[in-house]
């Protein structure tokens, strides 16, 4: 049954589930071709956060003497950069994903949500590689993970939700306004400094510190530091704040994306 759109909002998750195999294949394809025909291959997943960490350590750690909650500064920034890179790359790539799949969108029907979701999911492989390096760095500094280390898994999910939520808004906007392509690098750069990566959120006093959690990546980054390095105080309220913010963005993003996808094939 094919009818004009009713305007009734729906998340379309049931349909997405029906197409889970396609979602799997697109994710698999994105992972497979990720570093095809590059000289350094998957090393790129490590180089990016590693070099950023070196630069941060030099300028913020050594020169500006930014406090780091009693953790060696390189470790302090790298533990934040690993989930951040996952978030920022996921956001950037999903924002371009629908436009990049123009050929698919205009020729085949499937739930369009699969495209940005697969894009963010495929970034998990980079995360795993960078995480291994993080473990090595921790060993080098003689820092053992805390008893809460397993909490990084739900925290990664939070980063995924935040990345996808923002990515969906941008991907749908990008179909009609290619302005998005130019705005995204700028946005991620600003967001990087709006997130406590180069500095600790303990610089803020309560209640501002909890409110700071409205930026979903604040909860993720502080959660990682606390769970892996035991740095700072338990960020419970901040993480809760971040979860709420990320979910609101995601649900809003899905609804907006679903409304716009009706015309993707006409407008793209």
Which candidate, 109, 230, 116, places its Cα nearest to that of 165? 116
Task: Tell me the per-residue interface mask from 166 to 195 with another protein, x by CB under 8 A, - otherwise.
Answer: ----------xxxx----------------
Number of residues that bind another protein (CB under 8 A): 34
> Judged by CB, which is closer to another protein: 148, or 178?
178
In the complex, least distance from residue 47 CB atom to another protein, rounded to whole angstroms: 21
Residue 1 found at the interface with another protein (CB under 8 A): yes
**Would you count residue 103 as binding another protein (CB under 8 A)?**
yes
Determine, following the binding rule CB under 8 A, whether residue 104 of this chain makes contact with another protein: yes
Alpha-carbon distances of 259 from 112, 113, 114, 255, 264, rounded to whole Å: 11, 11, 15, 6, 10
Residue 15 interacting with another protein (CB under 8 A): no
Identify which of residues 47 and 108 has a Cβ nearer to another protein in the complex: 108
- Alpha carbon dihedral 53, 56, 61, 66, in 10-degree steps, equals -120
Taking only Cα atoms into account, the Rg of the chain, rounded to an integer number of angstroms, comes to: 19
Q: Which of 2, 39, 63, 147 binds another protein (CB under 8 A)?
A: 2
Q: Taking the complex as a whole, how short is the minimal distance between the CB of residue 7 and another protein, in angstroms?
A: 11
Q: Which of 25, 141, 193, 208 binds another protein (CB under 8 A)?
A: 25
> Which tokens is 118 given?
């697969």
Q: According to CB under 8 A, which one of 7, 8, 14, 37 is a site residue for another protein?
A: 37
129, burial (CB in 10 Å: exposed 0-12, middle 13-18, buried 19+): middle
4 binds another protein (CB under 8 A): yes
Q: Does the protein bind another protein through residue 268 (CB under 8 A)?
A: yes
Q: Rounded to the nearest 5 degrees, what angle is found at the Cα of 130, between the Cα atoms of 129 and 135?
A: 100
Closer by beta carbon to another protein, 103 or else 207: 103
Q: Which residues of 213-244 are buried (b: 16+ CB within 10 A; e: fewer)?
A: bebbbbbbbbbbbbbbbbbbeebeebbebbbe
74 with 53: CB under 8 angstroms?
Answer: yes
How far is 195 from 55, CA to CA, in rounded Å? Answer: 17
* Contacting residues toward another protein, per CB under 8 A: 1-5, 21-22, 24-26, 28-29, 32-33, 36-37, 103-110, 176-179, 262-263, 265-268
């Amino acid at each position: 049954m094919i009818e004009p759109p009713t305007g009734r909002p729906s998340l379309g998750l049931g349909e997405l589930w029906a197409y889970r195999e396609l979602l799997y294949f697109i994710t698999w394809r994105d992972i497979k071709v990720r570093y095809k025909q590059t000289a350094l291959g998957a090393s790129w997943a490590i180089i990016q956060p590693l070099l950023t960490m070196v630069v941060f350590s030099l300028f913020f750690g050594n020169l500006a003497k930014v406090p780091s909650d009693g953790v060696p500064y390189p470790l302090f920034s790298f533990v934040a950069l690993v989930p951040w890179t996952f978030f920022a790359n996921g956001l950037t790539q999903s924002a371009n994903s629908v436009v990049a799949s123009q050929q698919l969108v205009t020729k085949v029907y499937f739930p369009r949500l699969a495209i940005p979701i697969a894009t963010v999911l495929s970034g998990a492989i980079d995360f795993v590689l960078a995480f291994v390096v993080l473990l090595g760095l921790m060993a080098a500094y003689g820092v053992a993970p805390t008893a809460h280390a397993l909490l990084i898994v739900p925290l990664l999910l939070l980063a995924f939700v935040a990345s996808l939520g923002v990515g969906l808004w941008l991907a749908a906007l990008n179909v009609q306004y290619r302005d998005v392509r130019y705005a995204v690098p700028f946005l991620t750069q600003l967001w990087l400094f709006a997130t406590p990566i180069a500095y600790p959120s303990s610089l803020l006093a309560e209640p501002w510190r909890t409110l700071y959690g409205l930026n979903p990546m604040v909860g993720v980054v502080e959660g990682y530091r606390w769970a892996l390095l035991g740095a700072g105080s338990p960020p419970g309220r901040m993480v809760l704040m971040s979860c709420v913010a990320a979910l609101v963005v995601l649900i809003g993003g899905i609804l907006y994306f679903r409304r716009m996808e009706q015309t993707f094939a006409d407008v793209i």
